[in-house]
Amino acid sequence: MELKVRLKQKADYSYSIVLGKNLFKKIAADLKNKPIANKYVIITDSNVKNIYGIDLLKTLRANNIEAQLIYFKAGEQSKNSKIKEQIENEMFKLLLGRDSAILALGGGVTGDLAGFIASTFLRGIPYIQIPTTLLAMVDSSIGGKTGINTGYGKNLIGTFYQPKKVYIDINMLSTLPESEFLNGLAEVIKHSIIKDKPLFKYLEKNREKILKKDKKALQYIIKISCEIKSSIVEKDETESNYRRILNFGHTFGHAIEKTSNYQVKHGFAVAQGMIYAAKLSKTNEKTKERIIKLIESYGLIKNIKLDKKMILHAMLQDKKTIKGKVNFVLINEIGKPYITNKIKTQQIEAVL
């Protein structure tokens, strides 16, 4: 005997990204006018709590919104199942139920962790992303990838779970340490290389303004980056194929991060990885030179001693490597990516 469970539900998970300055009052007004829950919990890390968390909590409460705050020790090492469970237990103690929602206030670590909690807490409650690092603004807060690290590797446990809204407050970048800012810029550069030649040219021409955190320039590059990321996610929400173009520079990048025992930060590893990927690409020499020059001009290349063999080994172990074939995102020209698994080991060794 065979019975069928018919599931035709196809909900609309669309959401908007609000980009502006000093947004806490707007967030409170929006939640007041169009609540997504009865109670809210801000999840943040120990740094962001002091800089912005308490302020957001006060603003919500001043608007008669029932809100709590839970924080964890800042840093990648908190993105694990132990901290997830601790936060969930705190949420139970605060009697947060299915009528609650999470406000993920922080960088990518907070967004990934809080988003993952939202997707599993009581089988799923809504959440809003309030990214505070450049990386989270242009990348991790959009697209609904949530998750945690395990002893076996990064981001191995997680879900696709879209936020209800994203609020990007560019004024928050004023307190961000320089290296964290550069870390996010690597992803902006990546977006330009895979999808947007005008953005690439803008990054070439406006380096000084961007590095000085000129508000107009930041607003522009963040807006375009968010448009690129969301347009890719719209076409392939669960990374079955097209979304993989976002991994430009990442196959090498992840291997560099791993080989350096995570001493090289993600953005810097991806920056180096983008140079290797450009060198492997079919694109012409002039374009390769432009890419290398741009990445170097933003101070993203550190003189790190890299062990070629270990990088190759790490690439073969990557979760996206299938049957020993490493998948690479390369470019025909700026804005025109392609995916291939036909690169030979000797070619990889030659660019390292």
Ligand X SMILES: NC(=O)c1ccc[n+]([C@@H]2O[C@H](COP(=O)([O-])OP(=O)(O)OC[C@H]3O[C@@H](n4cnc5c(N)ncnc54)[C@H](O)[C@@H]3O)[C@@H](O)[C@H]2O)c1
Residues that bind ligand X (CB under 6 A): 45, 47-48, 51, 74-76, 79, 106-110, 112, 132-133, 135-136, 139-140, 143, 145, 154-155, 172, 175-176, 180, 183
| Closer residue to ligand X in complex, CB, 230/321 | 230
Q: What is the CA radius of gyration of the chain?
A: 21
254 assigned to active site = yes
Count the alpha carbons within 13 Å of 14 in the hemisphere toward its beta carbon.
4
Q: Is 152 exposed, middle or buried (0-12, 13-18, 19+ CB in 10 A)?
A: exposed
Whose structure tokens read 């006060």?
Answer: 58
Helix (H) or strand (E) segment spanning residue 317: helix 308-317
Q: Is 313 a catalytic residue?
A: no
Comparison of 53 and 337: residue with beta carbon closer to ligand X:
53
Ramachandran angles phi, psi of 84, nearest 5°: -55, -45
Could you give the CA distance from residue 114 to residue 49 in angstroms, rounded to a whole number? 14
List residues bridging with 104 in a β-sheet: 43, 129
Question: Does 229 qualify as catalytic in the annotation?
Answer: yes
Catalytic status, residue 187? yes
The residue from 165, 187, 257, 265 that is catalytic is 187
CB 106 within 8 Å of CB 41 = no
Is 266 a catalytic site residue? yes
Work out how close the CB of 145 gets to ligand X at its nearest, in angstroms, rounded to a whole number.
4
Q: Is 123 a catalytic residue?
A: yes
Amino acid sitting at position 283: T
Shortest distance in whole angstroms from residue 184 CB to ligand X: 7
Query: How far from 70 is each of 2, 43, 85, 310, CA to CA, in Å?
Result: 47, 5, 12, 39
Q: From the candidates 165, 243, 258, 290, which is the catalytic residue?
A: 243
191 as an active site residue: the answer is no
Tokens at residue 21, please?
A: 């300055």
User: d(Cα 104, Cα 97) in Å, to the nearest integer?
Assistant: 17
CA nearest neighbour of 27 among 12, 35, 45: 35
Using left for φ > 0, alpha for ψ between -120 and 50, and beta otherwise, residue 22 falls in left
- Catalytic residue, chosen from 49, 195, 265, 266, is 266
6, 8, 123, 344: the active-site residue: 123
Nearer to ligand X, 108 or 249 (CB): 108
Minimum distance, C-beta of residue 289 to ligand X, in the bound complex (Å)? 28
Q: 166 vs 348, which CB is nearer to ligand X?
A: 166
Q: What minimum distance in Å lies between the beta carbon of 147 and ligand X?
A: 7
Residues listed for the chain: 352
CB of 207 to ligand X, least distance (A): 21
Nearer to ligand X, 138 or 348 (CB): 138
Whichever of 140 and 162 has its CB closer to ligand X, that residue is: 140
Shortest distance, CB of residue 120 to ligand X, whole angstroms? 16
The structure tokens listed for 189 are 């550069």
Whether residue 98 lies in the annotated active site: no
Whether residue 243 lies in the annotated active site? yes
Residue 145 catalytic?
Answer: yes
Active-site positions? 123, 145, 187, 229, 239, 243, 247, 250, 254, 266
